[in-house]
A and B are shown apart, each in its own frame.
Chain A
Amino acid sequence: MPSDNVGFFEERFQVRERFQKTFGDKTVPVYATALFYCFGGLTTLSFTIQVMSGALLLMYYVPDADVAYQSVHYISHTVPYGWFIRGAHFFGANAMATMVFLHTLRVFYTGSYRRPRELMWVSGVLAMFLTMAMAFTGYLLKWDQIAYWAMTAVSGLIAYLPVMGPPTRLLLLGGDGVSGATLSRFFALHVAIVPGILIITLVAHFWMIRKQGISRPL
């Protein structure tokens, strides 16, 4: 075997060095091994759980006002391990919201947003708001009374915003009140639009941390 035999992909695409640089071993500074530096990673872990369990829930969930609740009930009580997948999605959502909050606090109290990492903070805050949007839109999808009235209350709050309030509410609900149209909208937001933007934001966030490293605490 000749020593310049570098493998099928390397021969064609020459990506090994870049791959090593991006995904290979990286030295972690000692100060970043403290316990409260783990929340960003745990957010990523719970996001991964959300993507995987969410993809599986999609196989049975039906975003239709008539049968949405029934399909959720079906997942929880009839589909084998459906209770587990739905439980993973539920607790994963809570974990992600908690972890993203703790991660933000850690970054704030260690002053990690300072120059040159300003854009990491910006992308992180954007990702945090997108996480909240995921929680907000996902909550309606189970289509029970709690979800319905929660959405009625929150959309009422949105309508109180000056000038932009009522049109925003109309755009979000797809009508004057929470209805089947709202369910369709929130489904689209929850499974396609928001996660799409969130993944792009996270990729930017991770690329920056790879490029700039973890900040030294104050």
Chain B
Amino acid sequence: MSDVQEQAACTLESSPGTDAASVAAVAQDDGVTRRHLLALLGAGLVGLPWIGTGLAALANFLSVPSRAFSGATTPDEVPAGLLSDLKDGEPKSILFGDETVFVIKSGSKVSAFSGTCPHAGCLVAWHQDKKLFICPCHGGTFTTAGKCIAGPPPRGLFEHSVKVSMGRVIVGRKKDA
């Protein structure tokens, strides 16, 4: 079969409106031509490495835990030093997993508040002169009792459970809202 004939056969097969019967007839006459086979092999030779690389990258992309950036390593309890070291009304910041927590003693009561602003998740800052926590992002302002008194936050600071055991302060997990 000459090249011209083969090309004609190809055009016939791929052109729209060709009825199924004649396509089948052409396919039956020729079977797989050398040209088709070589084209297929060539496409495979070029295409498979690309597809393989893409799939390998995709598998790699999907290979890590989806939430490894938070929560996974949050401890149940974190020691926050000696009760006698805490100054009245002056918070001490500790790390609870990857979260900053302020431990405050006021009178005989010890409490702990998450430093993550409940508004947009920024880290609030303690202002010693004002005795307030103020969020640097949007000005959310909180008292030493964690209560929101100004700014956009919809609620006060999240509170952590605290217990004092033999003079040591131990901060526990976040209390339920």
Taking beta carbons and an 8 Å cutoff, which residues of A are in contact with B?
1, 3-6, 10, 16, 20-21, 24-26, 56, 59-60, 62, 65-71, 73-74, 78-82, 84-85, 143, 145, 148, 175-180
Contacts and interface: CB of A to CB of B under 8 A. Distances in A.
B15 A69 contact: no
A60 B20 CA distance: 47
B69 A67 contact: yes
Given A80-B57, A81-B57, 5 more contacts: A25-B14, A25-B16, A70-B70, A74-B68, A84-B57
Contacts, number: 76
A19 B116 CA distance: 56
For the complex of A and B, list the 6 residue pairs with the smallest distance between their C-beta atoms, beginning with the closest: A74-B69, A80-B60, A24-B16, A81-B61, A66-B121, A177-B152
A56 B61 contact: yes
B119 A60 contact: no
Interface of B: 14-17, 20-21, 24-25, 28, 57-58, 60-64, 66-70, 116, 119-121, 137-138, 152, 154
Nearest to B22: A3
Nearest to B98: A70
A16 B23 CA distance: 13
A65 B119 contact: yes
A20 B20 CA distance: 11
B69 A179 contact: no
Contacts of A143: 120-121
Contact of B69 (A3, A78, A176, A180): A78
21 contacts: A3-B21, A5-B24, A20-B17, A21-B16, A25-B16, A26-B16, A56-B61, A65-B120, A66-B116, A67-B69, A67-B70, A67-B121, A71-B67, A71-B69, A81-B57, A143-B121, A145-B137, A148-B137, A177-B152, A178-B120, A180-B119
